[in-house]
Structure 1
Amino acid sequence: MSNVTIEIPHDFMLGAAASAWQTEGWSGKKAGQDSFLDAWYQQDRHVWHNGYGPAIATDFINRYREDVALMKACGLTHYRTSINWSRFLLDYETAQMDEEYASYYDRLIDEMLASGIEPMLCLEHYELPAVLLEKYGGWGSKKVVDLFVRYAEQVFAHYGHKVRRWFVFNEPIVVQTRVYLDALRWPYQQDTSLWMQWNHHKNLATARVVQLFRAGGWPGSIGTILNPEVTWPRSSAPHDVKAAEMYDLFYNRVFLDPAIKGVYPAQLFTLLAQHQVRWSYSDEDLALIAAHRVDEVGLNLYYPHRVKAPSRAWHPETPFHPAYYYEHFELPGRRMNPSRGWEIQPRIVADMAARMRDEYDNFPWFIAENGMGIENEARFKNEQGEIQDDYRIAFIAEHLHEALLARQAGINCRGYMLWAFTDNVSPMNAFKNRYGLIEIDLENQRQRRMKKSAHWFRQLVDSRQLTLTLDDEPK
């Protein structure tokens, strides 16, 4: 075993992330302000672990001052959250603002800035207003793109003078993949054409919000946050390599390429047409996407995705799904997080960094989410009641080390954001797996306690050095 120390550049972000719906709770929410997630929870509460959902979450909306003080105690230089579109407006058609909710964000932003923490605000983190799903079919409708731009205009007008880092979406592919492609979440509808329509309208919405931001002359930058899954083939055989390329095309490049290059991959058009996936787009849409690319991307990186060539013929009566081209592959002996069921492999950061350099012209990016969710963390408490989460410290250190090596090599990686600042609710898993630097005690009025990792993170920020213990023994 040996220790390696690497310097952390002073302009390299060390922050953490969350979202409005996962932290705020429903306190003060008015009738008609349900989001898609609120409606799902109300319709299907039994699928959320132990019935916990967004109703209370961490009660951040009432405890943000306490939590900002904890952010400062942890040493966070940046904090990303979202504005809840469903709560920011009283009328989605006219973009009439909810002054009470808007003033809460004014106070939160001011509190963060006074504490030396830079706010990074995302306009949509799964918070599509439920009424727009019911009335228009959500992002399946171009009307919703128009309404989203009106909402963004109100947000920029209200906060653009003091917030410098903006993001249009967080993980724009997730909701429609879970709902319309895999039919795993409410309202459970398998429709690949609708899946692609949502993809396109979110790409179009990104371009139009970028256009709006720049036309308004707002200072700062406008980006988006994507969750490309670093995809590895089972083997170097051509059929497995093709499976990985297909997975990458349908789930990663469908958003990476429009955001950064301004175009969809040509192969995507070809395959969608070949499989009779019907989606609506225009030359004007494609021109807008080409002309209004983002300034930066945040990339959420958690685990590698391994695939192999399909071993069974596709049933002729089964509608097209990208899984036509691949099957999932589980590498025997892989290192695992048993709580989450995800492989742990920090090399994903190095691979993504090389890709951003080689395929995307060294475009500016940062790790927008990376973290480790563990079940029943109370078993790791010491006599003083502090969770000794050495596993989280090791996980962060290994992934951050890869990001810093990439930065040293001249790759345009601008920071590392941990998921998450506090434990928080997530879809279906609720509070089952804990990700935070800060413990949320559900049994004791959501009391906050710093974990060992919180103190370690503060030292990391103060010293601007990361020391990593390496295993020198051959495997």
Structure 2
Amino acid sequence: MQLTIPKDFILGAASSAWQTEGWKGKKEGQDSYLDSWYKNEKFVWHNGYGPAVATNFMEQYQDDVDMMQKIHLTHYRTSINWSRFMIDYEKGVVDEDYAQHIDDVLDALIAAGVEPMLCLEHYELPTFLLEKYDGWSSRKVVDFYVQYAAEVFKRYHHKVKYWFTFNEPIVIQTRCYLDAIRWPHEQNTNKWMQWNYHKVLATAKVVELFKSKGYEGQIGCVLNPEMVYARSSSPEDQKAAEMYDLFFNRIYLDPLVHGSYPEVFWKVCKEEGLEFTYIQEDLDCIAQNTVDFLGINQYYPKRVRAPRYQWNNQAPFHPEKFYETFDLPGRQMNNSRGWEIYPKLLFDMAMYIKERYNNIPWLITENGMGRENEEQFMDASGVVQDDYRIDFIGKHLSWLLRAVEQGANCKGYMLWAFTDCVSPMNAFKNRYGLVRIELNQERTRTLKKSAAWYQQLIDQRILEIEDDEAVK
């Protein structure tokens, strides 16, 4: 069976600054949160690999761009590393060496016919601001971020037409302050919500700035809402799914798209004593400056059921008071990553956005297949035969294309990732790229089988699937 890919439907790939650049050329005081976490807990990163070398994109970006051109890639999403862009974060003094690097990368992409899409913060909060102001706990950090964004727009607006304020803005504080499973392991639910709120506010202020300058292009935010499935049709299980959706999806989607938080959110915050600082002026700013479009990262479904046990009221509030994770029996798994594989989630997410969020323009900004020990799949010529990745992309993309046929305003699909890259804790354990990175001094790059397949997809605009099961 064949599915036609619309001519203007983006087929791209993504990465980020901190996961590729490495530390060469970095100046004292330019650490990000990720750099500091790695330095403080190197032992939790697989085999000790982390952002120190990464893929050495700082020096080898042209190699990657050449490979993008070779497979006819049309769009590439990455980030500017806020912690490296500035020498003085408070005064807005720019590191001109790093700023020139960004210019050089953009010029190389454009020369190769690749449209750059830039994110202003992909977990790259400067450590200086974390230590001095407690990061996004402080309203001042919102102002520093807007100052940083203003400088970035001024320098690169003529080269970049797609902008994102954050990548997965909920993740860092959820891991660090809600679940306390990552450095600095501080459980503080109120801080978790303050960080969420300030990132929503920061997005609104940057949108306001972008529009006020009359820059050509669009500005949005990359979110990672989880497609939530209740275990059953029971009211109790359905309620569990609604509450998970509220605390991990709607606390960003509603204010960024609709301009306000849902009433049920304020009600539950009051009942549970979840407190954070906000003022009406900022809520007005959020209401008046919604995003143009969304990036959506999707990997696996979230399945929940009603909790089976009484919540311990002596424990700090956590949204899991209202739900319990449920593992579907017989589910297909990516055992390397420990994630369920459920391609239909892209169709369901597309319908969720269409029905609840005004069918706002959006695109998949991350979806992909991480696999451990990929070298076992190398052929005699050294090419990784990653048919599992081709199968994964094909099935997910087929569901996405069916959603587009049914009116979903999805503009494209961007694979995570263009090259193998460092991930938090996972390091290089699971490989995601169309391009393999050898962990030698040269960081040698080779195209995998999936790269040739993706090129064919880009060129021919036809997706071949074995049967119609993927789109029933």
CA distance in 2, matches of 1:428, 1:472: 36
CA distance in 1, matches of 2:73, 2:187: 41
The residue number in structure 1 matching 2:121 is 124
> What's the CA shift string for 1:423-448, capped at 9, x where partnerless?
00000000000000000011362100
CA distance in 2, matches of 1:407, 1:117: 24
TM-score after normalising by structure 1: 0.98
The residue number in structure 1 matching 2:141 is 144
Say whether residues 1:7 and 2:4 are aligned partners: yes
The residue number in structure 1 matching 2:266 is 269
The residue number in structure 2 matching 1:291 is 288
Say whether residues 1:440 and 2:437 are aligned partners: yes
How big is the shift at 1:472?
Answer: 6.0
Say whether residues 1:460 and 2:457 are aligned partners: yes
Consecutive unaligned residues of structure 2, counting only runs of 5 or more, are none
How big is the shift at 1:75?
Answer: 2.2
Identity %: 58
Q: How does 1:243-392 map to 2 (within 5 A)?
A: 243-392=240-389
> What's the CA shift string for 1:216-254, capped at 9, x where partnerless?
111000011000000001111110000000000000000
Q: Which amino acid aligns with 1:294?
A: V
Q: Which amino acid aligns with 1:269?
A: W
How big is the shift at 1:469?
Answer: 1.2
> What's the CA shift string for 1:272-291, capped at 9, x where partnerless?
11111110111111110010
Q: How does 1:34-183 map to 2 (within 5 A)?
A: 34-183=31-180
CA distance in 2, matches of 1:278, 1:403: 38
For residue 119 of structure 2, give the secondary structure of its aligned residue in structure 1: strand
Q: Which amino acid aligns with 2:5?
A: I
How big is the shift at 1:144?
Answer: 0.2
Kindly tell me the number of residue pairs found equivalent between the two proteins: 470
The residue number in structure 2 matching 1:30 is 27
Q: Which amino acid aligns with 2:416?
A: W
> What's the CA shift string for 1:349-383, capped at 9, x where partnerless?
11111111111111101101000100000000111
Q: Which amino acid aligns with 2:306?
A: A
Tell me: CA distance 1:91–1:389, structure 2 relative to 1, closer, same or farther (3 Å). Answer: same
Q: Which amino acid aligns with 2:275?
A: R
> What's the CA shift string for 1:397-445, capped at 9, x where partnerless?
1111111111122210100000000000000000000000000011362
Consecutive unaligned residues of structure 1, counting only runs of 5 or more, are none
CA distance in 2, matches of 1:306, 1:51: 32
Name which of 182, 187, 190 aligns with 1:190: 187
The residue number in structure 1 matching 2:390 is 393
CA distance in 1, matches of 2:398, 2:452: 18
CA distance in 2, matches of 1:62, 1:43: 26
For residue 317 of structure 1, give the secondary structure of its aligned residue in structure 2: coil
For residue 20 of structure 1, give the secondary structure of its aligned residue in structure 2: coil
Q: Which amino acid aligns with 2:213?
A: G
Q: Which amino acid aligns with 1:83?
A: I
The residue number in structure 2 matching 1:223 is 220
RMSD in angstroms over aligned alpha carbons? Answer: 1.0
CA distance in 2, matches of 1:34, 1:362: 39
The residue number in structure 1 matching 2:204 is 207
Name which of 221, 228, 239 aligns with 2:236: 239
Tell me: CA distance 1:472–1:243, structure 2 relative to 1, closer, same or farther (3 Å). Answer: closer
Name the stretch that deviates more: 442-451 or 432-441: 442-451
